[in-house]
Amino acid sequence: MEKYEHKYGAEQIQVLEGLEAVRKRPGMYIGSVSVRGLHHLVYEIVDNAVDEALAGYCKNIHVKIEPGNIISVEDDGRGIPVDIHPKTKISAAETVYTVLHAGGKFGGDSGYKVSGGLHGVGSSVVNALSQWTEVTIQRDGGIFQMSFERGKTVKSLIRIGDSKKTGTTVRFLADDTIFETLEYEYEVLENRLREMAFLTKGLRITIEDLREETPKKADFCFEGGLISFAEYLNKNKETINKTPIYIEKQGEVPVEIAIQYTTSYSENIYTFVNNINTIEGGTHLEGFKRSITKVFNDYARSHNILKEKDSNLQGEDIREGITAVISVKVKEPQFEGQTKTKLGNSEVTGIVQSVVNEALSTYLEENPTVAKAILEKCVSASRAREAARKARELVRRKTALESSTLPGKLADCSSKNPEECEVYIVEGDSAGGSAKQGRDRKFQAILPLWGKMLNVEKSRADKIYNNDKLNPVIVAIGAGIGADFDISKIRYGKVIIMADADVDGAHIRTLLLTFFFRYMRPLIENGNVYLAQPPLYKLSKKGMKDIYCYTDEDMEKNLAEIGRDGVTIQRYKGLGEMNPEQLWETTMDPERRILVKVKLEDAIKADEIFTILMGDEIAPRREFIEKNAKYVKNLDI
Ligand code: 2B7
């Protein structure tokens, strides 16, 4: 033990305080200590390997989830330098793992890393937040190894053997006294690694999950980069341009873009800055939108697709059915917005705009058939928008005449404070009736829906405004739809979908969620959409209060407690079987109910699921349902 003990100088104490700070306020460095923060540990380490790939030295990255939730990341780059760092008097590699802000001083090549969220302190942060970390380096003809516990060196770097290869391998076990859970979600890691592989053309990234008997694995390598990314996003959609339009320009701000139009009505633009998904968009997205609006309008005018009397196509017309991936590299990015995922650097707008102007106008001139097909769609989108505007105005005028602006079927609450108000969208007439009687009318509104719902995946905004099922939903929520949607106008802080726990219920839930996802996405992003969880069973026994069970396991647990003798089990097939008091007690009373918040963790996955479930293509839908049959209970969450 003794020989590993450190003699701490002033600098070293500083170092320890640094990593102690990370352990004291992990959220500041890793975002959160939830499962999300846990996954971030992996991304931080992988990011370093990807940087080595961007510098041109690493071709392969292997990620493993080993039994016990140990993460192993291996790259075949140059290996972290092992020589003694003059300032800290310890090896460069150990410095990288123990000094906060050690980033950039050694690697530095790419110049972009410094900006990616953690300012290049990823390795030391991961080390600080791990029970143990072990780093193995191959370079200069040797194998070197060092290890740490909760950020403290237990074995300094020593040479343990010879090797002709080069590279870095990092293994770590996250600290269970810091993170809420250590259970990695394979799919979450797989999705992020796929994304990283798309963003770094030619880099091979593999992932293996060795925690269960039958390992899961995936292997990603895309020579096409963003082109492959766009094709992947559209794999279940019918495309207009068979090969994505590809734009690439190196420069002060390198820009890379792939565009592929589909026959769908949704707009899917994903943007990245230094490989970080900028969910809230920003100046790069702004430049892109401005450019395509201008270029397509100019083309339409000069080729007489738009006549002199016609007004310009609007941005939203041009973006209908578009799938695009935008990736820029910015030396000192400023991230703004609620989740710090909105690019703020103003110079980027003009740069992206002029890159796209030039490349896209050339492309359209060289590919007139594609240009014509896309513009045909834009023109019909613009007609539909005009029809939607008329429909919307009609709705406004009609409701103005009827004096009450709210749908007749809505039983509104008395409070007008959106923060405390909730609306239950209830499937079926009888359940709607029980809900109306059972609710607390001060803050709970009920909107019953029945009959066949419109599939929004196959319709445009005009149809949606005119639809007698969706129109009451739009009017009740009160914030408009699509580009007009204004979250500050919502009349209820919670929009709760209450449907039966059966196939029909799942269907209506999926349709409503698709609608919210496509036309009121901020409502989901802002966490205003919930699913009510009605009980599946009621256990009754003489002399005992009824027990409601929400899952099969729940019931088994309760039966084990109270015994099976003399117990009647009622299985609820639908909400309609409950009387108003029961519905209140089990599903609506804020003190006792279970609500599931609908989250948008992964927009790409969500788009894929809604496209498959609601779209035209039969084969992927069947495949999806077969593959997910065992998860069918939470298919749409
Ligand atoms: C800023 C720090 C983190 N670093 C290097 C060189 C290569 C290298 C790294 C790495 C994670 C899991 C396997 C540079 C950069 C430190 O300085 S980090 N490779 N891989 C990694 O962390 N993978 C490097 C210049 C010359 N030789 C090597």
Q: DSSP letters of 573-634?
A: --GGGS-HHHHIIIII-TTT--EEEP--S-HHHHHHHHHHHHSS-HHHHHHHHHHHGGGGGG
Q: Would strands 204-209 and 60-66 be described as parallel, antiparallel, or unpaired?
A: parallel
Closest listed residue to residue 327, CA positions, set 170, 199, 436, 484: 199
Q: What is the mean pLDDT of residues 172-177?
A: 98
Q: Which residues contact 383 (CB under 8 A, 6 or more apart)?
A: none
Q: What per-residue confidence (pLDDT) applies to 633?
A: 40
349, HSE (Cβ side, Cα atoms, 13 Å): 10
Check 83, 176, 502, 623 and give the catalytic one: 502
pLDDT for 428: 77
Q: Is the pLDDT of residue 320 over 70?
A: yes
Residue 6's pLDDT is what? Answer: 44
Average pLDDT of the chain is: 89
Which candidate in 76, 195, 412, 427 is catalytic?
Answer: 427
Examine the pLDDT at 120 and tell me if it is beyond 70.
no
Number of the ligand 1 atom closest to the C-alpha atom of 120:
1
Q: Classify strands 335-336 and 342-343 as parallel, antiparallel or unpaired.
A: antiparallel
The closest-lying atom of ligand 1 relative to the alpha carbon of residue 104 is 1
Please give the DSSP secondary-structure letter assigned to residue 554. H
Establish whether 427 is a catalytic residue. Answer: yes
User: Going by C-beta distance under 8 Å and a sequence separation of 6 or more, which residues neighbour residue 145?
Assistant: 134, 135, 136, 137, 155, 157, 158, 160
DSSP assignment of 261-318, as one string? EBSSS--EEEEEETTEE-TT-BHHHHHHHHHHHHHHHHHHHHTTSS-TTSPPPPHHHH
The rounded distance, in Å, linking the Cα atoms of 276 and 30 is 14
Tell me the C-alpha distance between 239 and 634, whole Å. 30
Q: Where residue 539 falls among pLDDT bands split at 50, 70, 90?
A: very high
Catalytic residue among 52, 231, 462, 500: 500
- Which range, of 34-43, 51-60, 405-414, averages the lowest pLDDT? 405-414
> Is residue 572 within 8 Å of 161, Cβ to Cβ?
no
CA neighbor of 45 nearest in space, from 159, 129, 109: 129
List 401's β-bridge partners, or say none.
Answer: none
Q: Sign of dihedral through CA atoms 580, 583, 589, 591?
A: positive
Which residue's alpha carbon is at the smallest distance from atom 22 of ligand 1?
48
Nearest CA to ligand 1 atom 8: 80
Q: What is the pLDDT of residues 540-549, one digit of tens each?
A: 999 999 999 9
Q: Does residue 339 carry a pLDDT above 70?
A: yes
Indicate whether 628 pLDDT > 60.
no
Who's near 139: CB < 8 A, 6+ residues apart?
78, 79, 81, 82, 166, 167
Tell me which residue has its CA closest to atom 4 in ligand 1.
80
Average pLDDT of 44-59?
A: 96
Separation of alpha carbons 364 and 256, rounded Å: 18
Listed range (3-7, 59-63, 478-482) with the worst mean pLDDT = 3-7
Please report the pLDDT score of residue 307 as a whole number: 95
List Cβ neighbours of 49 (8 Å cut-off, separation of 6 or more): 58, 61, 73, 75, 77, 168
Separation of CA 52 and ligand 1 centre (Å): 6
Q: How far is the CA of 28 from the centre of ligand 1 (A)?
A: 24
Mean pLDDT check: name the lowest of 256-270, 311-325, 438-452, 603-617: 603-617
The predicted pLDDT at position 407 comes to 85
- Cα separation of 605 and 343, whole Å? 23
Structure confidence at residue 626 as a pLDDT band (50, 70, 90) = low
Q: Look up 502 and say whether it is catalytic.
A: yes
Query: What is the DSSP secondary-structure string of 357-384?
Result: HHHHHHHHHH-HHHHHHHHHHHHHHHHH
Residue 139: strand pairing partners: 142
Which residue has tokens 């600098």? 11
pLDDT digits 0-9 by tens, 570-625: 998 888 889 999 999 999 999 999 998 988 878 888 888 888 887 777 777 777 66
Catalytic residue among 429, 504, 601, 623: 504
CATH number of 226-384: 3.30.230.10
Residues 6+ apart with CB under 8 A from 352: 253, 255, 283, 284, 286, 287, 288, 291, 326, 328
pLDDT computed for residue 605 by the predictor = 85
pLDDT band, residue 422 (cuts 50/70/90): very high
Q: What is the pLDDT of residue 1?
A: 38
Residue of the CA atom closest to atom 3 of ligand 1: 103
* The predicted structure's pLDDT at residue 610: 85
Distance CA 595, CA 531 (A): 6
Mean pLDDT value of segment 395-407? 61
Instruction: With cut-offs at 50, 70 and 90, classify the pLDDT of residue 395.
Output: low
Smallest CA separation from ligand 1 atom 1, residue = 103
- Least confident range of 130-134, 304-308, 359-363, 510-514: 510-514
User: Which among 86, 68, 92, 74 is positioned nearest to 146, based on CA atoms?
Assistant: 92
Q: Domain spanning 10-220: which superfamily?
A: Histidine kinase-like ATPase, C-terminal domain (3.30.565.10)
Residue 99 has pLDDT above 80, yes or no: yes
Measured between alpha carbons, how far is 529 from 636 in angstroms, rounded to an integer?
Answer: 13
Question: What pLDDT, on a 0 to 100 scale, did the predictor assign at position 601?
Answer: 78
Q: In sequence order, what are the residues at sequence separation of 6 or more whose Cβ sits closer than 8 angstroms to the Cβ of residue 327? A: 199, 226, 255, 256, 257, 271, 272, 273, 275
Higher pLDDT residue, 35 or 400? 35
198-240 pLDDT tens trace: 999 999 999 999 999 999 999 999 999 999 999 999 999 999 9
Beta-carbon neighbour count of residue 572 at 10 Å?
Answer: 20
Give the per-residue pLDDT at 115.
38
On the question of a common fold for 10-220 and 404-534+595-607, the answer reads no
CATH of 404-534+595-607 among 3.30.70.1710, 3.40.50.670, 3.65.10.10, 3.40.50.700: 3.40.50.670
pLDDT at 466: 83
| Ligand 1 centre distance from Cα of residue 107 (Å) | 6
Predicted confidence at residue 110, as pLDDT, reads 42
Query: Residues 6 or more apart from 201 whose CB is under 8 A from it?
Result: 222, 223, 224, 225, 226
Q: What is the pLDDT of residue 624?
A: 66
Q: Indicate the top mutation candidate among 78, 97, 113, 138 to test ligand 1's pocket, ranked by most ligand atoms within 8 A of CB.
A: 78
Which atom of ligand 1 is closest in space to residue 103's alpha carbon? Answer: 1
Read off the pLDDT band of 408 (50, 70, 90): confident
Pairwise CA distance, residues 139 & 631, whole Å: 46
For residue range 487-523, what is the model confidence (pLDDT) as tens digits? Answer: 999 999 999 999 987 777 888 888 899 999 999 999 9
- What per-residue confidence (pLDDT) applies to 63? 98
The pTM (predicted TM-score) of the whole model is: 0.84
pLDDT, tens digit, 9 for 90 and up, residues 456-493:
888 888 888 888 889 899 999 999 888 889 999 999 99
The predicted-structure confidence for 140-157, as pLDDT tens digits, reads as follows 999 999 999 999 999 999
Closest ligand 1 atom number to CA of residue 93: 16
pLDDT, one tens digit per residue, over 346-356 is 999 999 999 99
Query: Residue 187: which residues within 8 A CB-CB, separation 6 or more?
Result: none
CA atoms within 13 A on the CB side of 630: 1
Per-residue confidence band for 295, with pLDDT thresholds at 50, 70 and 90: very high
Domains of the chain by residue range: 10-220, 226-384, 404-534+595-607
Element (H, E) at 448: strand 444-449
CA 258 to ligand 1 center in whole angstroms: 30
- Please state, in angstroms and rounded to a whole number, the distance separating the CA atoms of residues 111 and 133: 26
Closest CA to 80 of 161, 127, 139: 139
Residue 61 alpha carbon, nearest atom of ligand 1: 13
pLDDT (0 to 100) of residue 612 = 83
Angle between helices 186-199 and 35-54 (to 10 degrees): 30
Say what percent of the chain tops pLDDT 90. 71
List pLDDT tens digits, range 250-292. 999 999 999 999 999 999 999 999 999 999 999 999 999 999 9
Can you tell me which atom of ligand 1 is nearest the CA of 108?
1
- Cα of 162 vs centre of ligand 1, distance in Å, is 20
Q: Which residue has the higher pLDDT, 630 or 309?
A: 309
CA of 48 to the centre of ligand 1 (A): 6
Nearest CA to ligand 1 atom 14: 107
Taking the C-alpha atoms of residue 522 and residue 516, their distance in angstroms, rounded to an integer, is 9
Task: Tell the residue nearest (CA) to atom 15 of ligand 1.
Answer: 107
Ligand 1 centroid to Cα of residue 49, in Å, is: 7
Residues with CB under 6 A from ligand 1: 45, 48-49, 52, 73-75, 77-78, 80-81, 96, 103-104, 106-107, 120, 123, 168-170
Best-predicted range by mean pLDDT (16-30, 93-107, 240-254): 240-254
